[in-house]
């Protein structure tokens, strides 16, 4: 696709919403966007405090004249420029994702948004309708779906290497809320997570659970049809939900188990996915993200690695360094940003639209439907259907 970039003649222009100088996810977004030269970050709103936002731009490499006090100002002023932004990347607290994304779509911009895409399913449906009406692109930065070995796992399932699927096990376990955030001083910048109006219907699902759900759906190629779930806080005195476990039934009849837990002291970002079919299994974990274990019935298990010479070309293209050189979340974000850019450039040039599998608004809507179904199942004590967006 390098010829596409040459024909387009320049990087696409990106405005960031959130991701100021002290934001680690901001550096991941900005680094991923610019890593392969598809995007140039030229404008931004870096803080909810207008003065801090205006001062922050130069420290992240953006001209002070394009460091705006709020989103409305950025959208209005960039629209007046001949070299204005063509997309926004959103990485702000969860309750702002929907209004900022809606405003960007209304301004005629493409959107790359952190998860959860909205507060609830109704908002996600509204964004999906806006995307359809506007013809703009909308990506959700589920970075784990852009690791080369996850893409290869998805390809193996899609090509039938495992046969009919029988069981999916997915988990995301971390220590992000192992300590009591509730006891932190009011000045702690993460205190907003304690307010469900800001953090979402279930904190653990907004933070990590939707990643696990999307990973399972992405690799299997199936949506979740119904769930039987448990959702509760696990720390004494805590009110926000830091744990959800669920039994799942996917379209096509395959069953699965799901666990998201944020109060696991001593854990890091422990993500694992196993998919079992009638012929064999695949096994991936985030700690060894460049490797995929494939075990077929009656054969010795083998480990496939990012960079193996016999991988399909489109899988090899997702990596940048030879086998054995670590790559991670930054490169996965770069894969997502690169795919969105290539699709936008192809549309602008009148080329055939490439069929990249990056997560889109429909995936975000399914995540919101899944979260609502889990909470409804907990309340009812029974299986609940997952609404179809």
For 232-244, write each residue's pLDDT tens digit. Answer: 999 999 999 999 9
Q: How many CA atoms lie within 13 Å of 156's alpha carbon, on the beta-carbon side?
A: 26
Strands 12-18 and 87-91, by their bridges, are parallel
- Residue 275: φ, ψ to 5°: -125, 120
Helix (H, G, I), strand (E, B) or coil at 45: strand
pLDDT digits (tens, 9 = 90+) for 273-308: 999 999 999 999 999 999 999 999 999 999 999 999
Instruction: Produce one character per residue of 346-360: b if its CB has 16 or more CB atoms within 10 Å, e if not.
Output: beeeeeeeeebbbbb
Domains belonging to the chain, first-starting first, are: 2-144+349-360 (3.40.50.720), 147-319+364-385 (3.30.360.10)
360 touches 340 (CB < 8 A): no
- pLDDT given at position 304: 97
- pLDDT given at position 350: 96
- pLDDT given at position 2: 63
| pTM more than 0.85 | yes
The rounded average pLDDT for each run of 10 residues, N- to C-terminus, in the chain (389 residues) is: 86 97 95 97 96 95 97 98 98 96 98 97 98 97 98 98 98 94 81 84 94 98 98 93 98 96 95 98 97 97 96 96 93 98 97 96 98 98 94
- pLDDT given at position 1: 60
Instruction: Produce one character per residue of 279-316: b if its CB has 16 or more CB atoms within 10 Å, e if not.
Output: ebbbbbebeebbbbbbbbeeeeeeebbbbbeebeeebe
Measured in residues, the chain has a length of 389
Cα 7 from Cα 140, distance rounded (Å)? 27
């Amino acid at each position: 696709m390098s010829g596409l970039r040459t024909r387009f003649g320049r990087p696409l222009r990106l405005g960031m919403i959130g991701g100021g100088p002290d934001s680690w996810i901001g550096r991941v977004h900005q680094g991923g966007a610019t890593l392969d030269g598809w995007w140039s970050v030229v404008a931004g709103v870096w803080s909810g405090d207008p003065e801090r936002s205006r001062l922050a731009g130069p420290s992240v490499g953006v001209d002070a004249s394009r460091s705006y006090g709020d989103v409305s100002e950025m959208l209005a002023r960039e629209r007046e420029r001949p070299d204005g932004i063509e997309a926004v990347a959103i990485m702000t607290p969860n309750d702002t994702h929907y209004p900022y994304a809606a405003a960007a779509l209304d301004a005629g911009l493409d959107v790359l948004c952190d998860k959860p895409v909205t507060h609830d399913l109704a908002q996600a449906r509204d964004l999906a309708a806006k995307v359809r009406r506007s013809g703009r692109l909308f990506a959700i930065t589920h970075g784990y779906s852009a690791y080369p070995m996850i893409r290869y796992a998805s390809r193996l399932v899609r090509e039938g290497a495992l046969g009919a699927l029988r069981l999916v096990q997915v988990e995301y376990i971390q220590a992000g809320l192992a300590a009591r955030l509730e006891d932190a001083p009011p000045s702690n910048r993460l205190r907003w997570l304690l307010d469900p109006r800001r953090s979402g219907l279930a904190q653990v699902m907004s933070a990590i659970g939707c990643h696990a759900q999307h990973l399972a759906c992405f690799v299997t190629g199936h949506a979740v049809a119904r769930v039987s779930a448990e959702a509760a806080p696990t720390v004494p005195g805590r009110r926000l939900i830091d744990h959800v476990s669920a039994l799942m039934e996917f379209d096509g009849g395959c069953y699965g188990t799901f666990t998201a837990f944020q109060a696991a002291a001593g854990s890091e970002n422990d993500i694992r996915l196993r998919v079992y079919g009638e012929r064999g299994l695949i096994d991936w974990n985030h700690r060894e993200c460049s490797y995929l274990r494939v075990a077929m019935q009656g054969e010795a298990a083998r480990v496939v690695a990012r960079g193996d010479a016999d991988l399909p070309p489109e899988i090899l293209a997702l990596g940048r360094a030879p086998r054995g050189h670590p790559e991670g979340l930054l490169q996965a974000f770069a894969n997502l940003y690169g795919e969105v850019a290539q699709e936008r450039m192809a549309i602008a040039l009148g080329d055939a639209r490439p069929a990249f599998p990056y997560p889109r608004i429909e995936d975000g809507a399914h995540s919101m439907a899944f979260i609502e179904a889990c909470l409804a199942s907990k309340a009812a004590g029974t299986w609940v259907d997952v609404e179809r967006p």
